């Protein structure tokens, strides 16, 4: 143990030159000397010769460090110039620093010159069982800079050899406590000083008799020799963090029985964790209670920051005052225990004081226990050899209880190289703080200047350190994102005082030449420019040379071949102009333009230049002839087969009203007019023909406030929803499709939520399948008493939630009662069906959705439509295109879909001759595009897909009589209607009753029949007369075309171009609907010689 002459910091230190009355030399009283000056019982010591100086004094401190033996009973007082002074603090006399302050005028001392006259005396007046008083040092400090210790005033640095200093430490002997498995051995066999450390060695020793114990170790304690009270302690140690080891740094109170005298565990390690805590007594003599404020730390959490934590040095700190006990390891606050909790439950008693951490001094303990109640099984560890616990020092700043907040944060480096991997050290953090032995904790905090906090990290601690932090990168930084980064750092000191600072970190960019753009097209006979700059400012002028490195000699640098960049304009763009010479070929020449720094400081860059040929001829493209194909069997099934009450299909472009890709209406194709609308521009979703898988259309919602909604409120008991969408999250508040409730309270809505639940605004049904992002198809049914839900063909929900009737509006994009939660993703198709549906229909919907939208792999393998869509698979067409180029240029080709009601897949879209598969009935326009690198040309072909055997299926139906003459133009019933007409108008080919059509306006076709003439004057129509006929509802897929023609003379017929008006109701019964076409005003007659009002009409069928 040595004394520190600079305990209070600064000032003039004056050491004595003479000493008498004791045993030893005056050098033994000087600082940094391990020897001691002894004053025997009843003897007196006199110290003087403090030198001289000049100038005035503000204050002088006389210091003494001493220790007494156990049993000492006396009042220690120093006399200065014969006047008694009180050693501060003086309530305990075991191994203490003491000091007394002399202010100007005291003891006749006013100037530095008079310091020489000071004499310090001491009399050992022990009346007890003690003996000598041992002095480590006596000295004077003139005008110190602090009134509290800023350097340790008690240091055990273990710089000696052999056993621990017996004047300070006691060795425990034998078994002591906690069912531990070691025998403590006194002396230096298991605990000794060596190399500036105290080494405690736990070892297996079965050769000697240690009362039956196989393990030996050491434990030393300062009890009855040294106690300290309030202030700061720091201990640096390296512990054996292994199974069965139980190293500790701790202390117990001077007065009372354990635990009523108080115990503080600055360190304990056992069972793979680090602990620090405090204990006081309960209502029983030996009963203890441990504080709840200091949770333990697992080794894994420490090793996550420092993988070498187990084998490294660490610093443990205790800060103790009349308010709290704070315990630290390195920069980690293990806990803060308030003095209000550190009270013995039974108050003051014969077992100890009421508040042992207020009225007691604390001893110092160091020990290595093995096994025991908490240590764990040491067998494997001890069998591997002796285990060492190393302690470098124990320092105490007694009285250091006041606190000053940090005043600044500095770093030893403020720069990091761009591109450095995440976790790269930027620099070490340090705080400016006047307090001694501080513990500083650093963190990134929110507030002004925190712009780039997310790009950095500060580990929780730095091993073997209490003052510094480390700033690291949390991501790879690019100079192009900014040359500086702003972070906000806060430091918290040992007592919780804080200081916050905004720090700028410089990102060091690689010296490169930048160009923009990196490729240019230069018109033949013309020029084109690009820009050049330096990525980082140069230290001095830099010349960048620009030249053609390789390629077509027609491409040249016409200006900007030599660019000078200075420190002031180095990062400003400069212009380079390229020229392309006129030539007679039709080839697009290319060249590489090199931008280089002759000094080699900056990395070179290139620009790809292409000559835009003006002698080129565009490719010639023929997409082939229009074609008509037929599905085999009954053709594909679609939701039309179950008559949905609302149907929204992004593949049917005719149902989307959009401008520049922004959707204002998604029309209902069921015929029930439940159109989804959005009139507010910033709430409108977007539409793209390639948003789904890059080839199919979708409506995209931004997750902010986009939605579409129908204006008609629905009130229903049972409803089925079916939809296909792509979700970007699994949030319960994101709901893609459903009916938004209109009631303020109560479960009146029905929506498909992204967490795979069904939501009712006031209730929900949880799903059994974990939600995932991506593309899904869902079908769900809700009634007031039960709910079913399916995702990707598998049942997800079977619930019985009691619900109100549905009362709301069909919505996609924000099916939330308050429109507060917007869906983020894409919707491609949705159905609403009033009522429940059968398992068969549900499976058909799932199969239809899956194959139409490329989700067949989502279905379970046992699904009836896993391999093929309901009603038959796709129909395939051979596409026979031709392309050529007048200049024999190499061509690239691509087939694409211009329009169509369903999906189209190409076997090889880049091949001129390929096949295309169609998923639905209807007319498709396909485009073949060819390009030669300069020009491109396209041609289109129309493919009509219909069902081949719709007529055959009709002919095989049930009629009044046998139907055997099946030809289109046969008339087996002699009613003036051939079979094709009977098929088209819905009449019976086996009955001769050829009657006219009867229908109910806005209702049903009551009797299919021959076309009729009808006067609509009462309805305000003009012209009043209309041709009315019966039309198959599936005329399009059946391949039928109805054309109404008018004539004035039965010789010349004129076809009407007017779209027929459907007269029967939406969703009318049967396969037929009544439609009308108004009479034309005039038609050509008499060979076109004149125009006359028509008198006749007919319906032509194809």
- SS3 of 975-1012: the string is CCCCHHHHHHHCCCCCCCCCCECEECCCCCEEECCECE
How far, in Å, CA of 417 to CA of 506, rounded?
8
Same fold? 170-376, 408-508? no
How far, in Å, CA of 2 to CA of 28, rounded?
11
Model confidence band, residue 933 (pLDDT cutoffs 50, 70, 90): confident
Return the closest-CA partner of residue 40 out of 63, 25, 24, 18: 24
The larger pLDDT score, comparing residue 789 to residue 1070, is at 789
How far, in Å, CA of 891 to CA of 841, rounded?
48
Question: Contact 556/583 with Cβ under 8 angstroms?
Answer: no
φ, ψ for residue 840, nearest 5 deg: -60, -45
In the chain, the percentage of residues whose pLDDT exceeds 70 is 89
pLDDT at 954 over 50: yes
Q: Which two tokens stand for residue 250?
A: 């701790």
The partner residues of 267 in beta bridges, in order of sequence, read: 249
How do strand 231-238 and strand 197-204 relate by DSSP bridges?
unpaired
pLDDT at 87 over 60: no
How far, in Å, CA of 961 to CA of 970, rounded?
15
pLDDT, tens digit, 9 for 90 and up, residues 348-385: 888 999 999 998 999 999 999 999 998 899 999 999 99
Return the closest-CA partner of residue 1009 out of 994, 1024, 1023, 990: 994
Question: Contact 417/254 with Cβ under 8 angstroms?
Answer: no
Model confidence band, residue 571 (pLDDT cutoffs 50, 70, 90): very high
How far, in Å, CA of 328 to CA of 297, rounded?
12
pLDDT at 814 over 90: no
Return the closest-CA partner of residue 221 out of 204, 197, 198, 203: 198
pLDDT at 96: 47
Question: Contact 1009/1054 with Cβ under 8 angstroms?
Answer: no
What predicted TM-score, i.e. pTM, was given to this entire model?
0.51
Model confidence band, residue 71 (pLDDT cutoffs 50, 70, 90): low
DSSP state at residue 1080: P
pLDDT at 955 over 80: no
How far, in Å, CA of 21 to CA of 246, rounded?
47
How do strand 191-194 and strand 231-238 relate by DSSP bridges?
unpaired
Length of the chain in terms of residues written: 1102
pLDDT, tens digit, 9 for 90 and up, residues 375-414: 899 999 999 999 999 999 999 988 888 889 999 999 999 9
Q: At 32, is the secondary structure helix, strand, or coil? A: coil
The larger pLDDT score, comparing residue 44 to residue 243, is at 243
Model confidence band, residue 200 (pLDDT cutoffs 50, 70, 90): very high
Lowest-confidence region among 57-71, 160-174, 642-656: 57-71
| DSSP secondary structure, 598-640, as one string | TTS-SB-EEEEEEEE-SS----EEE----EEEEESTT----GG
How far, in Å, CA of 672 to CA of 1059, rounded?
19
pLDDT at 515: 96
Q: What is the mean pLDDT of residues 332-347?
A: 94
How far, in Å, CA of 693 to CA of 701, rounded?
16
pLDDT at 597: 93
Which residues have a Cβ under 8 Å from the Cβ of 905 and sit 6 or more positions away? 695, 874, 916, 917
Q: What is the mean pLDDT of residues 316-335?
A: 95
- The architecture CATH gives domain 639-858: Sandwich (2.60)
Report the C-alpha dihedral over residues 899, 903, 906, 910, rounded to 10 degrees.
50
Topology adopted by domain 12-155:
Jelly Rolls (2.60.120)
The larger pLDDT score, comparing residue 196 to residue 887, is at 196
Which residues have a Cβ under 8 Å from the Cβ of 133 and sit 6 or more positions away? 38, 39, 66, 67, 68, 72, 76, 122, 124, 126
Model confidence band, residue 1033 (pLDDT cutoffs 50, 70, 90): confident
How far, in Å, CA of 397 to CA of 222, rounded?
16
Please name the residue that has the structure tokens 């006990």: 325
Model confidence band, residue 105 (pLDDT cutoffs 50, 70, 90): low
How far, in Å, CA of 659 to CA of 662, rounded?
5
pLDDT at 99: 53
Taking the CA of residue 631 as centre, how many other CA atoms within 13 Å lie in the half-sphere pointing to its CB? 25
pLDDT at 68: 65
Q: What is the mean pLDDT of residues 821-847?
A: 94
- The architecture CATH gives domain 170-376: Sandwich (2.60)
Class of domain 408-508: mainly beta
φ, ψ for residue 612, nearest 5 deg: -85, 100
Question: Contact 375/368 with Cβ under 8 angstroms?
Answer: no
Q: At 661, is the secondary structure helix, strand, or coil? A: coil
HEC letters along 495-544: CCCEEEEEEEEEEECCCEEEEECCEEEEECCCEEEEEEEECCCCCCCEEE
Topology adopted by domain 620-630+872-947:
Immunoglobulin-like (2.60.40)
Query: Is the bond leading into 447 cis (omega within 30 degrees of zero)?
Result: no
For 813-843, b/e burial (b = at least 16 CB within 10 A) is bbbbbeeebbbbbbbbbbbbbeeebeeebbb
Please name the residue that has the structure tokens 């067949």: 856
Q: What is the mean pLDDT of residues 62-81?
A: 67
617: number of Cβ within 10 Å: 13
DSSP state at residue 1045: E
Residue 1019, exposed/middle/buried by CB under 10 A (0-12, 13-18, 19+)?
exposed
Model confidence band, residue 903 (pLDDT cutoffs 50, 70, 90): confident
Residue 500, exposed/middle/buried by CB under 10 A (0-12, 13-18, 19+)?
middle
How far, in Å, CA of 133 to CA of 67, rounded?
6
In the chain, the percentage of residues whose pLDDT exceeds 90 is 58
Model confidence band, residue 95 (pLDDT cutoffs 50, 70, 90): very low
Class of domain 513-612: mainly beta
Please name the residue that has the structure tokens 């200075």: 566
pLDDT at 54: 63
Q: State whether the Cα torsion 947-951-954-956 is positive or negative.
A: negative
pLDDT at 130: 64
How far, in Å, CA of 832 to CA of 740, rounded?
13
Return the closest-CA partner of residue 322 out of 338, 343, 341, 335: 338
pLDDT at 508: 93
Q: Which two tokens stand for residue 1021?
A: 């129509």
What is the pLDDT of the chain when averaged over all its residues? 87
The domain spans of the chain are 12-155, 170-376, 408-508, 513-612, 620-630+872-947, 639-858, 995-1101
The partner residues of 85 in beta bridges, in order of sequence, read: 78
How do strand 498-508 and strand 415-417 relate by DSSP bridges?
parallel
pLDDT at 94: 39
How far, in Å, CA of 431 to CA of 492, rounded?
9
pLDDT at 625: 87
H or E stretch covering 379:
helix 379-383
Q: Which two tokens stand for residue 267?
A: 């360190």
């Amino acid at each position: 143990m040595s004394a520190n002459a600079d305990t209070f910091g600064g000032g003039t230190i004056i050491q004595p030159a003479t000493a008498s009355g004791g045993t030893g030399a005056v050098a033994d009283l000087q600082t940094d000397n391990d020897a001691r000056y002894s004053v025997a019982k009843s003897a007196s010591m006199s110290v003087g010769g403090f030198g001289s100086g000049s100038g005035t004094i503000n204050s002088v401190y006389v210091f003494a460090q001493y220790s007494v033996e156990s049993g000492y009973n006396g009042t220690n007082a120093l006399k200065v110039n014969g006047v008694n002074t009180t050693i501060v603090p003086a309530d305990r006399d075991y191994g203490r620093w003491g000091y007394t302050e002399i202010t100007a005028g005291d003891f006749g001392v006013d100037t530095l010159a008079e310091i020489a006259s000071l004499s310090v005396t001491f009399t050992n007046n022990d009346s007890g069982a003690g003996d000598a008083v041992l002095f480590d040092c006596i000295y004077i400090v003139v005008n110190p800079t602090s009134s509290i210790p800023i350097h340790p005033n008690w240091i055990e640095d273990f710089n000696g050899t052999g056993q621990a200093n017996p004047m300070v430490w006691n060795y425990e002997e034998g078994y002591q406590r906690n069912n531990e498995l070691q025998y403590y051995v006194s002396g230096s066999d298991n605990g000794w000083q060596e190399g500036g450390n105290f080494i405690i060695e736990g070892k297996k020793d079965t050769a000697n008799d240690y009362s039956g114990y196989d393990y030996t170790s050491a434990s030393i304690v300062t009890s009855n020799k040294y106690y300290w009270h309030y202030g700061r302690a720091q201990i640096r140690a390296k512990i054996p963090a292994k199974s069965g080891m139980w190293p500790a740094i701790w202390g117990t109170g001077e007065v009372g029985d354990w635990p009523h005298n108080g115990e503080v565990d600055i360190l304990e390690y056992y069972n793979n964790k680090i602990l620090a805590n405090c204990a006081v007594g309960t209502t029983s003599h030996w009963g203890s209670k441990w504080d709840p404020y200091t949770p333990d730390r697992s080794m894994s959490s420490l090793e996550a920051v420092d993988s070498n934590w187990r084998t490294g040095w660490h610093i443990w700190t205790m800060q103790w005052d009349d308010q709290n006990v704070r315990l630290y390891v390195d920069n980690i606050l293990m806990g803060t225990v308030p003095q209000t909790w550190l009270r013995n439950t039974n108050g003051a008693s014969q077992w100890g004081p009421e508040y042992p951490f207020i009225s007691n001094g604390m001893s110092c303990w160091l020990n290595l226990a093995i096994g025991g109640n908490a240590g764990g099984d040491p067998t494997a560890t001890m069998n591997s050899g002796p285990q060492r616990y190393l302690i470098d020092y124990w320092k105490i700043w007694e009285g250091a209880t006041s606190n000053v907040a940090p005043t600044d944060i500095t770093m030893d480096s403020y720069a990091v190289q761009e591109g450095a991997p995440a976790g790269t050290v930027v620099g070490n953090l340090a705080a400016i703080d006047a307090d001694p032995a501080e513990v500083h904790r650093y963190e990134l905090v929110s507030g002004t200047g925190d712009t780039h906090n997310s790009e950095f990290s500060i580990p929780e601690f730095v091993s073997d350190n209490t003052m510094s932090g480390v700033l690291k990168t949390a991501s790879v930084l690019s100079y192009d994102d900014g040359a500086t980064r702003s972070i906000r750092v806060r430091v918290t000191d040992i007592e919780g005082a804080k200081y916050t600072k905004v720090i700028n970190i410089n990102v060091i960019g690689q010296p490169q030449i930048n160009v923009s753009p990196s490729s240019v097209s230069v018109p033949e006979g013309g020029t084109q420019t690009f820009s050049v700059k330096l990525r980082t400012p140069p230290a001095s002028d830099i010349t960048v040379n620009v030249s053609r490195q390789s390629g077509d000699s027609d491409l040249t640098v016409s200006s900007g071949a030599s660019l000078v960049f200075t420190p002031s304009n180095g990062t400003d763009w400069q212009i380079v102009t390229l020229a392309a010479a006129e030539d007679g070929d039709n080839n697009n020449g290319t060249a590489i333009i090199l931008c280089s720094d002759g000094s080699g400081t900056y990395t070179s860059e290139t620009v790809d230049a292409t000559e835009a040929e003006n002698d080129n001829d565009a490719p010639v493209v023929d997409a082939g002839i229009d074609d008509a194909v037929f599905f085999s069997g009954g053709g594909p099934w679609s939701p039309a087969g179950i008559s949905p009450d609302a149907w929204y299909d992004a593949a049917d472009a005719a149902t989307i009203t959009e401008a520049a890709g922004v959707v204002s209406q998604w029309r209902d194709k069921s015929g029930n007019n439940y159109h989804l609308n959005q009139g507010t521009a910033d709430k409108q979703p977007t539409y793209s023909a390639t948003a789904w898988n890059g080839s199919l259309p979708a409506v995209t919602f931004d997750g902010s406030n986009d939605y579409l909604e129908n204006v008609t409120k629905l009130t229903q008991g049972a409803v089925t929803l079916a939809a296909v969408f792509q979700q970007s999250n699994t949030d319960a508040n994101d709901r893609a499709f459903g009916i938004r409730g209109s009631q303020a309270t109560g479960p009146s809505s029905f929506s498909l939520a992204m967490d795979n639940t069904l939501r009712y605004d006031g209730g929900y049904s949880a799903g059994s399948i974990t939600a995932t992002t991506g593309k899904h198809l869902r079908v769900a049914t809700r009634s007031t008493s039960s709910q079913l839900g399916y995702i990707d063909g598998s049942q997800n929900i079977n619930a019985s939630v009691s619900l109100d009737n549905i009362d709301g509006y069909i919505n996609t994009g924000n099916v939330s009662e308050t429109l507060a939660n917007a869906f983020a993703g894409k919707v491609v198709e949705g159905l609403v069906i009033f009522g429940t549906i059968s398992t068969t229909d549900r499976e058909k919907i799932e199969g239809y959705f899956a194959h139409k939208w490329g989700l067949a792999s989502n279905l379970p393998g046992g699904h009836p439509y896993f391999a093929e869509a309901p009603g038959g698979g796709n129909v395939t067409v051979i596409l026979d295109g031709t392309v050529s180029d007048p200049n024999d240029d190499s061509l690239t080709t691509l087939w694409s879909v211009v329009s169509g009601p369903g999906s189209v897949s190409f076997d090889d879209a880049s091949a001129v001759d390929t096949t295309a598969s169609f998923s639905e009935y209807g007319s498709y326009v396909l485009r073949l595009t060819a390009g030669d690198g300069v020009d491109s040309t396209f041609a289109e072909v129309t493919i009509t897909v219909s069902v081949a055997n719709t007529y055959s299926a009709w002919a095989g139906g049930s009629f009044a009589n046998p139907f055997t003459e099946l030809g289109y133009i046969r008339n087996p019933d002699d009613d003036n209607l051939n079979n094709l007409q009977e098929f088209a108008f819905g009449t019976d080919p086996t009955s001769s009753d050829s009657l006219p059509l009867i229908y109910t306006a806005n209702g049903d076709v009551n009797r299919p029949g021959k076309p009729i003439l009808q006067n609509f004057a009462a309805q305000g129509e003009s012209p009043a007369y209309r041709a009315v006929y019966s039309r198959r509802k599936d005329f399009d897929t059946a391949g039928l075309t109805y054309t109404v023609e008018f004539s004035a003379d039965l010789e010349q017929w004129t076809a009407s171009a007017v779209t027929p008006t459907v007269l029967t109701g939406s969703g009318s019964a049967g396969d037929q609907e009544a439609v009308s076409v108004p009479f034309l005003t005039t038609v050509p007659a008499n060979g076109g010689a004149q125009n006359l009002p028509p008198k006749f009409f007919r319906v032509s069928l194809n």
